[in-house]
């Protein structure tokens, strides 16, 4: 509706007047553009996810039976890039229902993945990585959404992360990493030092430090990879938009347990 000026015996007043057909058409076009902007795939984000999966697989190749310590280095990129992908989704979505679906898929596949994870790496004393990401999602969402429910869930996630840090892959700082990346995702490149430091803390910096003192060939590159992983991820998100790899949708959650089973099969064949 628009206002039309009406003159009646010297008195001026306005009355509601139906908008023109052109105005209605313009609004429809603007709504369509807004919907397309919200739903179109971002090639850079899909590329980041695929590269994170690749780095994860390279890292886990160390458990197939061949001692290749340098594969530890690209492995340090996988988790921060998954956290950055989560932060990117949070930064462009304000719908709480979307985050509930996201959390549900993480919890479902964390349960599904635990048995393949234990079969492939039986001597690990932590859960698979998905519970860490689920708690990290609650913490980051609690910072972003100021409702009481979100804040209480975030506090609960922080308490769980603190109490059960030793049972979570990447520990307490791993739960903080999605929030750290969310805080800097729209900031200048040098702000990525914050999630870089958190990433290093999540990867047991003191262990890497002593390994470096002992001359381990993967320790120093591993420290560097932790520190620059968020920066590299942000660079990809901002400058790799021309790439359009296959989109990662909900089926991609199955890649996590599937890659454990596939690598377990490779190890059995190699043995």
Q: What is the pLDDT of residue 41?
A: 58
Q: What whole-number distance in Å separates Cα of residue 23 and Cα of residue 18?
A: 10
- Tell me: do 144 and 119 sit in the same domain: yes
Nearest CA to 140 out of 204, 191, 82 is that of 82
- Tell me: do 50 and 129 sit in the same domain: yes
- Tell me: do 189 and 226 sit in the same domain: yes
Three state DSSP letters for 62-128: HHCCCCCHHHHHHHHHHHHHHHHHHHHHHHHCCCHHHHHHHHHHHHHHHHHHHHHHHHHCCCCCCCC
- Tell me: do 168 and 178 sit in the same domain: yes
- Tell me: do 33 and 53 sit in the same domain: no
- Across residues 77-90, what is the average pLDDT? 96
Q: What whole-number distance in Å separates Cα of residue 92 and Cα of residue 111?
A: 28
- Tell me: do 147 and 28 sit in the same domain: no
> Domain containing 24: what range?
1-40
Q: What whole-number distance in Å separates Cα of residue 45 and Cα of residue 203?
A: 24
Answer whether 0.85 is exceeded by the pTM: no
- Tell me: do 34 and 72 sit in the same domain: no
The first and second tokens of residue 129, run together, are 């990585």
Q: What whole-number distance in Å separates Cα of residue 190 and Cα of residue 73?
A: 22
Total length of the chain? 271
Q: What whole-number distance in Å separates Cα of residue 158 and Cα of residue 164?
A: 10
DSSP code at position 239: H
Q: What whole-number distance in Å separates Cα of residue 166 and Cα of residue 206?
A: 15
Tens of pLDDT, residues 19-64: 455 554 555 444 444 333 333 458 999 999 999 999 999 999 999 9
The first and second tokens of residue 74, run together, are 């690209």
Percent of the chain with pLDDT over 70: 83
Number of domains in the chain: 2
Which of 32-36, 247-251, 255-259 is modeled with the greatest confidence? 255-259
The first and second tokens of residue 178, run together, are 């999605």
Q: What is the pLDDT of residue 4?
A: 44
Tens of pLDDT, residues 94-133: 556 677 889 999 999 999 999 999 999 988 899 999 999 9
- Across residues 151-170, what is the average pLDDT? 97
Nearest CA to 144 out of 181, 102, 91 is that of 91
- H-helix or E-strand containing 41? none
- Tell me: do 104 and 238 sit in the same domain: yes
- Tell me: do 192 and 256 sit in the same domain: yes
- Tell me: do 97 and 4 sit in the same domain: no
Q: What is the pLDDT of residue 68?
A: 79
Cβ proximity of 110 and 257 under 8 Å = no
- Tell me: do 124 and 180 sit in the same domain: yes
Q: What whole-number distance in Å separates Cα of residue 129 and Cα of residue 255?
A: 13
Q: What whole-number distance in Å separates Cα of residue 252 and Cα of residue 82?
A: 12
Residue 7, beta-bridge partner list:
12
Q: What whole-number distance in Å separates Cα of residue 168 and Cα of residue 126?
A: 5
* pLDDT of 166 over the 60 cut: yes
């Amino acid at each position: 509706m628009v206002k039309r000026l009406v003159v009646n015996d010297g008195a001026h007043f306005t009355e509601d007047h139906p908008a023109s057909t052109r105005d209605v058409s313009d609004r429809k076009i603007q709504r369509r553009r807004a919907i397309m902007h919200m739903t179109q795939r971002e090639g850079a984000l899909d590329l980041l996810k695929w590269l994170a999966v690749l780095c994860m697989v390279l890292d886990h190749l160390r458990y197939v039976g061949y001692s290749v310590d340098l594969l530890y280095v690209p492995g340090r990129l996988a988790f921060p890039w998954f956290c950055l992908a989560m932060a990117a989704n949070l930064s462009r979505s304000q719908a709480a229902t979307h985050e509930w679906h996201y959390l549900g898929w993480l919890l479902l596949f964390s349960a599904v993945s635990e048995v393949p994870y234990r079969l492939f790496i039986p001597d690990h004393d932590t859960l698979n990585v998905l519970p860490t990401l689920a708690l990290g999602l609650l913490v980051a969402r609690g910072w972003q959404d100021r409702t009481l429910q979100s804040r209480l869930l975030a506090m609960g996630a922080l308490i769980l992360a603190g109490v059960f840090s030793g049972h979570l892959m990447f520990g307490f700082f791993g739960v903080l990493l999605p929030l750290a990346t969310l805080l800097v995702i729209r900031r200048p490149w040098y702000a990525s030092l914050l999630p870089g430091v958190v990433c290093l803390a999540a990867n047991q910096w003191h262990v890497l430090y002593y390994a470096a003192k002992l001359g381990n060939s993967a320790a120093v590159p591993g420290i560097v990879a932790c520190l620059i992983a968020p920066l590299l991820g942000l660079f990809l998100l901002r400058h790799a938009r021309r790439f359009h790899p296959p989109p990662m949708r909900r089926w991609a959650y199955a890649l996590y347990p599937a890659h454990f089973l596939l690598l377990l099969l490779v190890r059995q064949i190699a043995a």
